[in-house]
Structure 1
């Protein structure tokens, strides 16, 4: 069994298309999506149309925190990225978002969530220090959040950092990284920057072998400068820098 994992597209339709071409080139037919599909200063509408087609083809998607914000927050109270996306989305796109579950189990073997099993906006595999450094979380905290999950493969996203962590009992937790947003900054609970240092789209391939699940992290080149220019045109210099360089 081989499975492609995408996450954190953030309205970057060009990156999504490139990743889907890479997945098809590998001959993989099964895809799961870990959420945060549209939020950003890019092409939420085009991305949504493509996501709905993927859904019809069997892709399982769970809801991310920004997907939730698009449904639960009044437009005038949204952050800039959510507001831009909301302004592009049609009622059918929002209805599709409403259909997404918080978490899911794929083929009885794989657990899916956006961030953690308890919350859609909390880092799982990483922790944030008081001075804003993002580093690997403690094994105790990672294991605590995984309590009660029976599946051998656990998939999460949210941080945009590709990572695999193996638990003491052999279960594997994998974050595939971000398809559409290679760097960002945030100020809650404290200011931090998360930067991949490259402008490529990220995803992961998981293969089940006799020895268990094995991840392959993949980076895909695409016309990232076109998306950087679009972000700049839409007044987002931070996104323009992230998309051009993987840094802010």
Structure 2
């Protein structure tokens, strides 16, 4: 019997597994008991290799992508997301809507920071670039950490175009978020916003440095002049 595309992609990925790299990745992505990636399983495949598989299978249909997103293997889920990213590049409005609907229906499977960061700006951010942004604020209200990170990191698509308002609005919403992964995401997006408008970032930081978790603040001011950065951290 002829193999399905899901089976072909899965077989390709399984053939690329690297047990030594797998051990490194499982530690790096915090898969231990009580950690944010608890129970996730890795094949030990580097992102550029996974991206290559995704590009070869960018015509995969939605059913195949859904199956891949349900995989127990981290890199196979990443492959599904990278296929979606490839599809978004030339998608019409109808296909974009399908891709975003699928993505948002499976955010529990987009369950580590790299999966979010390599897909949310292109898929959710790309879709919303010329549309109302209410969806971001709905994700921000979710109790799921990954929904929150998707909301924040999706603003990278807008930031690149000099559209900074949603990044700052969400940064305020998340300023007291309990998880360090969100502190890093917010700080990262603020830093990127600062590359487009440094005075605005400086004003935000000076208004809110006392409330910002230290990690968030450090990320946000990473590109400030050294003396200024040190002075702000001392204030904190």
TM-score (ref. length: structure 1): 0.25
Higher helix content, 1 or 2: 2
TM-score (ref. length: structure 2): 0.26
Q: Which has the larger radius of gyration?
A: 2
Higher relative contact order, structure no. (Cα contacts within 8 Å, ≥ 6 residues apart)? 1
Higher strand content, 1 or 2: 1
